[in-house]
Structure 1
């Protein structure tokens, strides 16, 4: 993964550690006294120590190269690229001290019969310096390796996730395929789900090609996405029979409701006739078009239901669901309009018979809000008092409209309802402000 830039010079370690023997022509070694042999032994010990330091450094570098390759396989962040650059720089430093060591070994034949004490001492000094340099670079390499901990941990975590993630994606695709086969066995085509599953085929091919071709992060992301999408297909396939049954039920229910509303819409006209006969125009004029609108809305709803049935037969489930929602909305608005006419007559009858209940209900709401506004205060906050005072005046004006020969009872009802809404807003604001103050 690191490429040629991280390839160190191949060091002939075995050759270095196994130099030619000190026996000339099979003869016996010549001895030059104790001092020369003592210096030779010290030099040999220095050589052995340097060889051990060289071996440790070489082993550490090889191990660290594996860590760098692991990081590069997963991480392309600036920190990872910087780590690679730093490793290359340390590699060049390792080359330098390694050549220094090799030159020191090659420069001195410690097995020569005529090795002088001064030469052995020089060899010992050079080999000791080489060993010390190798040790210093080893320490530098160790510090660098310690600093790689977070990057290496992240890379190893991603690599550890890779194989399970790919396997989960394969299993998810298999489960989705099995679920699709099962639902087709019930007579449902599920063409849209089959198309979605087929679209994941090329993604499975890329997963099988491996992270070496597509990269670890990209392969992980692809595996997780394939798992999610395949699982969604599986869940929808398993739910499809239930969804079909639900749509069938809604079709029957909404058709029944449309028929009932057709009957109820026919009862609106007698209600309007009574409203026109007993109350002023303002009390019923907004309801004039309810009968014809109800008929039109029911007709539109029935048309949408027919389209929904066609979509359901073709197993176009999203279209069927959308059409059913449109039909339901049309029937809801029709229901509200038809109910409004009967509710209007009921409320007008009640207030015509005795408006005092509506008046007292509204006055009670105002008084309750006024008590709350004064709680714990000598004078109310103007922000609360002003809308409450306005509500009192508005209620009195509404009551005054009942004194005429042809009272507009609907105006009276809408005014009292508006007053209660205003009062409720003031109460909510007071409680919110006091709750916030108590929190502090």
Structure 2
């Protein structure tokens, strides 16, 4: 019984160490108590009746033997129910020190590869960060091992392996960084030229907005030229910094500057396009103000028909009718020499979104 209990108990301890969220220990506790009680009963019989051949002694030993047998069978039943989990946990716990050592060996190998690489690569930010990641992971593993935290050690060992892989990848990628930076520099130079060309269209487009349309149609775009120019200027500054970094042997720093330049160029493009697209949109609506309106009216009729078909007129009929009035008011507001087409577009878009939302809710209520 003692041997069986010891095997089962070590398995339960292993499960508790590696899976503290599992409640196997609660199930084991009554069986373990039965073993302790049976053992205590046997020892009490030995102490009281050892060497005594009486009926009372015989009964005491028979009762103790029966208790030991019952306890042993309870251990067997418990172990049979949880054999796979217990054996896997015990095996994993036993393998934890080796797992930790193997992870540290990988870390040492990765750091040795850096030491043997071109010294210029060691100062690359990606390599430095990966090296720190390995150091931090190994430190965490050592702390968990010293504390006897098996679960923490296994988790930390996995992180050490990941960090070692990241360091291997960083040093392997380092030789290509210089070429990557040169290619990126050429690409961004071309893009700066393209954005400058697009920027040249902004002022004429904004002037057209002021001449051809209501002042409200361009009020939100009045600062776009200044902001776009500043973004282009910042992109050119970043590009110059990137060239200097690459020339001084810091291609990764150059790539960071290039990323900033690209972000500024994207912002400049967005600001330019907002003006040129606004001109195109307003001219399109001015040429045929009813085209967009008809599209919204068509969507409204579809919504009204859906309400009829699904028996939802009482719930949504008046709501949809109100959108027709909103469309009529938006159309009626197109007055004067320079009607406010931008407000007209925004009103129709708002109405369209509202109708679409009603359609979605009607379809959802029918499911």
Equivalent residue in structure 2 for 1:284, among 218, 221, 227: 218
Equivalent residue in structure 2 for 1:225, among 139, 152, 156: 156
Decide whether aligned partners of structure 1 residues 224 and 356 sit closer, same or farther in structure 2, where only a CA change above 3 A counts: closer
Give me the TM-score of the superposition, normalised by structure 2. Answer: 0.76
Q: Could you tell me how far apart the structure 1 residues matched to 2:353 and 2:133 are? A: 52
Q: Could you tell me how far apart the structure 1 residues matched to 2:12 and 2:340 are? A: 83
Instruction: Report Cα offsets for 1:181-235 as digits up to 9, x if no partner.
Output: 556636532122223323444566678x8xxx754xx234303321233224314
Per-residue deviation, 1:376:
3.7
**1:172-321 equivalent positions in 2, closer than 5 A:** 172-182=103-113, 185=117, 188-189=121-122, 190-202=127-139, 215=148, 218-235=149-166, 237-238=168-169, 241=173, 244=177, 252-304=186-238
Q: The residue matched to 2:313 in structure 1 has which SS?
A: coil
Structure with bigger helix share is 2
Structure 2: which 5+ runs fail to align? 18-24
Instruction: Report Cα offsets for 1:309-342 as digits up to 9, x if no partner.
Output: 778878696x888766654443333212101111
Give me the TM-score of the superposition, normalised by structure 1. Answer: 0.65
Decide whether aligned partners of structure 1 residues 90 and 289 sit closer, same or farther in structure 2, where only a CA change above 3 A counts: same
Instruction: Report Cα offsets for 1:340-360 as digits up to 9, x if no partner.
Output: 111111122222222232222
Q: Could you tell me how far apart the structure 1 residues matched to 2:85 and 2:244 are? A: 55
Q: Could you tell me how far apart the structure 1 residues matched to 2:42 and 2:231 are? A: 87
> 2:284 is matched with which residue?
350
Equivalent residue in structure 2 for 1:413, among 337, 340, 345: 345
Whether the 8 Å CA contact 1:177–1:197 is kept in 2: the answer is no
Structure 1: which 5+ runs fail to align? 1-59, 106-122
Equivalent residue in structure 2 for 1:92, among 40, 44, 51: 40
Per-residue deviation, 1:372:
1.8
**1:385-404 equivalent positions in 2, closer than 5 A:** 385-404=317-336
Per-residue deviation, 1:370:
1.8
> 1:135 is matched with which residue?
65
Q: Could you tell me how far apart the structure 1 residues matched to 2:335 and 2:304 are? A: 27
May I ask how many residue pairs the two structures share in their alignment?
349
> 1:339 is matched with which residue?
273
Whether the 8 Å CA contact 1:173–1:231 is kept in 2: the answer is no
Instruction: Report Cα offsets for 1:21-52 as digits up to 9, x if no partner.
Output: xxxxxxxxxxxxxxxxxxxxxxxxxxxxxxxx
Per-residue deviation, 1:75:
4.9
Q: The residue matched to 2:338 in structure 1 has which SS?
A: coil
Per-residue deviation, 1:269:
0.8
Decide whether aligned partners of structure 1 residues 100 and 65 sit closer, same or farther in structure 2, where only a CA change above 3 A counts: farther
Q: The residue matched to 1:404 in structure 2 has which SS?
A: coil
Instruction: Report Cα offsets for 1:235-265 as digits up to 9, x if no partner.
Output: 4532561894767655554454334223322
Q: Could you tell me how far apart the structure 1 residues matched to 2:2 and 2:212 are? A: 103
> 2:21 is matched with which residue?
none
Q: The residue matched to 1:103 in structure 2 has which SS?
A: coil
Per-residue deviation, 1:386:
3.3
Whether the 8 Å CA contact 1:72–1:80 is kept in 2: the answer is no
Q: Could you tell me how far apart the structure 2 residues matched to 1:394 and 1:72 are? A: 72
Q: Could you tell me how far apart the structure 2 residues matched to 1:176 and 1:309 are? A: 35
Decide whether aligned partners of structure 1 residues 160 and 311 sit closer, same or farther in structure 2, where only a CA change above 3 A counts: farther
Whether the 8 Å CA contact 2:212–2:338 is kept in 1: the answer is no
**1:98-177 equivalent positions in 2, closer than 5 A:** 98-104=46-52, 125=55, 128-129=58-59, 131-143=61-73, 145-146=75-76, 149=79, 156-177=87-108
> 1:366 is matched with which residue?
300
Two-structure CA RMSD over aligned residues (Å): 3.9
Decide whether aligned partners of structure 1 residues 162 and 322 sit closer, same or farther in structure 2, where only a CA change above 3 A counts: farther
Q: Could you tell me how far apart the structure 1 residues matched to 2:221 and 2:201 are? A: 13
Q: The residue matched to 1:94 in structure 2 has which SS?
A: helix
Q: The residue matched to 2:347 in structure 1 has which SS?
A: helix
